[in-house]
Every structure is written in C-alpha cells, then in structure tokens.
Amino acid sequence: QVQLLESGGGLVQAGGSLTLSCAASGRTSSCDRIGWFRQAPGKEREFVASITWSFGLTNYANAVKGRFIISRDNAKNTVYLQMNSLKPEDTAAYFCACRPYSARGPVDLGGTWNVWGQGTQVTVSS
C-alpha cells in the first residue's frame, strides 16, 4: 500500500504563491500517476492537476491552467503543486491521491483514485 502526506498549505494573499508537497511512501510503484484534488466547504471535491510518475505527463483543470504547475521528483518520491496568482476561490483543502495503473476513465474522476492523503488547507485572502 502507498501512503501520501501533504504539506505546504497556509494563508496567502490574493495574487500570491504557494507550493504544496505530496510525499509518497510504501508501494509507490503501484501508482500510475499522482494527482491533486481540492474541496471547499459546502462544495464537491474537484480535480486540480495530475502527473504520471514515469513520463511526467500532466493534466490540469481549466480553472487552474496557466496558474498552477505540477511537477515530480522521482528520487524523493514527491509531487509538487506550485500555485501562482492565487485567488480567493482557490481556498480549499487540497488532497493528493494515487491513481493505479488499473484505473479507467477520465483522470478527473475522483472515484478512479484509490489512495488519498489527509489534506492540507489553503486559504487565500482578498
């Protein structure tokens, strides 16, 4: 089993930047890709971005495209989410997740991801 631990959340002003980290341990080879999701109070969880371990292929939600950058450091088993030009609507709990090789369907479908971290809070003030 793989374990995921997020860090790097905090309070930032609108227009600022923040970088989240997702440290993976255990059977990391079971993950085809690592992704970030977020959930704001009273809202459904939504896909943010993902990256494949092997080739570094990325996907982004339209809401963050051009502002967020996902990257990975295979040697450290860590995935990063660099968030720039933050907006108050980016305020949410951010979770990283593992998508197994056996998953089918769109990557933004939360049900196809089988291991989740505890989450880290990001708050953007206006």
Reading the chain (126 residues) residue by residue, the pLDDT tens digits are: 999 999 999 999 999 999 999 999 999 889 999 999 999 999 999 999 999 999 999 999 999 999 999 999 999 999 999 999 999 999 999 999 999 999 999 999 888 999 999 999 999 999
3 state SS for 19-66 = EEEEEEEECHHHEEEEEEEEECCCCCCEEEEEEECCCCCEEECCCCCC
Residue 85 has a pLDDT of 98
Residues contacting residue 43 through CB under 8 Å, at least 6 positions apart: 92
Residue 77 has a pLDDT of 95
Are 125 and 11 within 8 A, CB to CB? Answer: yes
- How are beta strands 2-7 and 78-83 bridged, if at all? unpaired
